[in-house]
Amino acid sequence: MKQRKLGNTDLLVYPITFGGNVFGWTIDESKSFEILNGFTEAGFNFIDTADVYSAWKPGNGGGESEKIIGNWMHEKKNRGEIILATKVGSPMGPGKKGLAKKYILQAVEDSLRRLKTDYIDLYQSHYDDPETPVQETLEAYDQLIKEGKVRWIGASNFSAERLKESLETSEKLGLPKYQTFQPEYNLYKREDYEKNFEQLVSDNQLGVINYYALASGFLTGKYRSDADLNKSQRGGGMKTYMNDRGFKILKALDQVSEQYASNPASVALAWLIARPSITAPIASVTNLNQLKDLVKAASLKLNTEDIAILDQASDWK
Catalytic residues: 53
3-state percent helix, strand, coil for the chain, nearest multiple of 5: 50, 15, 40
- CA torsion 45-50-56-62 (nearest 10°) is 110
Nearest partner of 91 among 115, 107, 108, judged by Cα: 107
Residue 31 DSSP SS3: helix
Q: Cβ-count burial of 130 within 10 angstroms (0-12 exposed, 13-18 middle, 19+ buried)?
A: exposed
The secondary structure of residue 27, as a DSSP letter, is B
| Amino acid residing at 246 | G
Half-sphere exposure of 72 (CA within 13 A, CB side): 26
Answer yes or no: are the C-beta atoms of 110 and 147 closer than 8 Å. no
In 3D space, the residue among 88, 137, 139, 95 whose CA is nearest the CA of residue 114 turns out to be 88
> Whats the size of the chain, residue-wise?
317
CA distances from 155 to 13, 120, 179, 209, 217 (A): 18, 15, 8, 10, 24
CA distances, 132 to each of 90, 107, 115, 129, 140 (Å): 14, 16, 27, 6, 12
- Amino acid 63 reads G
